[in-house]
Amino acid sequence: MDTKIFTPDQIQAAAAELKKGNLVSFPTETVYGLGADATNVSAVKKVYKAKGRPSDNPLIVHVADVETVEKYAQPLDENVKKLMKTFWPGPLTIILKLKPGALAKEVTGGLDTAAFRNPNKQSTLNLIQAAGVPLVGPSANTSGKPSPTLAKHVYHDLNGKIAGILDDGATDFGVESTVIDMSTDKPAILRPGAVTVDQIERVIGPVDDAVHHVSADQVPKAPGMKYRHYAPDAQVQVVDHKDDWKRAADWIKGQDETVGVMATDDVIDSINWPQNAELYSLGKDVSTASHLLFAGLRHFDLENGVDNILTQGFPATELGEAYMNRLNKSAGQKHFE
C-alpha cells in the first residue's frame, strides 16, 4: 500500500483510515505511535505484524478523555484520579484492572489489565475524537529499533506497511511515557519516563521503583520490560564519565572506520577529536540529551552506517533514570572500558 502523509488539517482523512481498520501513525509529546482502533481485533493484529512485535507485548491504549477509560476499566480509585488530574494530558501511562471482556487479549497480552494514556498533543487528541474510539499506539518503529521522534523515522521503518502518518513535526520529550502500575496493592513504576518518581510520589505517596524487567517466561504488563529495545544496527557503548572521553577519542583514532559520537556540547568542545569521529550533539544537559537520543541513534542508522556509537551517560536520577533506561537497552548494557 502507499503510505500517505497527513497534515494536522487532514484529521478527518486520517480518521477515515482508522475507521476502515487501517493503521495510521500519530505524534505524541514523547514519540510517534502506531495507531489502530483498540476495539477492532483485526486492526490490532495488523500492528503486531507491521512492527514485527511479539504477541505477548501489550499495547498502550490512547484516549482523549477520562470518561473513555471509565468505560473499559474497573472503577478508578482516588490515587488514580489524582494522577490523571495532575499529569493528564501528558507523558504518564497508567495500568488499570479491566472490566471483564472489555478489551481483546490482542491489546492486553492476555492480561486482565490494560495501560491507558491521554497524550498531550492536540492533533492526536483530535484524531482520537474523530475516529470515535480509543487507539492502541505502540512506538511506530520496527520492533527493537530506536523509537521515532520524526515522521521521517516512521516512514523509514513502516513505509508500505501502514496507511498513513499524521505529521505534526518533532516530538517534545524524545523518550516514551512513564508507566505506572495502579492495578497492584502498591503502585509500581514499570518504565521510567518524562514524569519522574519524585513528581509521582508528591501526588500519591511512595511507589515501587525497581520493577523494570520480567523474566523470559512472564508476560510483561508494559512495553520495554522484556524484549530488546531501542537498538540501532551499530553497537552502542555508554561512556559513563566525562573523564573517559579523552581515552575514548584515543580508542576511536585506532579504529579503521568512522565511529559515531553522541555527547553534550561541553564534551564535544573539550576534546581534540580524530578525523574518523562523526559528532552528534546531545545539546547541553540530560534534558536535551533525552530529547535527542533516539534521533541521534537513527541519524547514524539512516545517514551513516557506522559500526560503533559512543554515547554519553548521565546519573540515573530524575529524568536521567529514563534516559539511562533507554540508553542501556540500546547498548545491551555495554559500557566503554
What distance in Å separates the CA atoms of residue 191 and residue 325, rounded to the nearest whole number? 8
Q: Which three cell numbers stand for residue 26?
A: 500519530
Binding residues for ATP, by number, are: 53, 57, 113, 139, 147, 191, 230
Binding residues, by number, are: 30, 53, 57, 62, 113, 117, 139, 147, 177, 191, 230
Contact 171, 154 (CB under 8 A): no
Which phi and psi angles does 70 have, rounded to 5°? -65, -25
Report the alpha-carbon angle 315-260-165, nearest 5.
85
Q: ω before 91 within 30° of 0 (cis)?
A: no
Binding residues for L-threonine, by number, are: 30, 62, 117, 177
Q: Where are the alpha helices (DSSP H) in the chain?
A: 11-19, 41-51, 66-72, 78-87, 105-108, 122-131, 151-158, 197-204, 245-253, 265-270, 286-302, 319-331
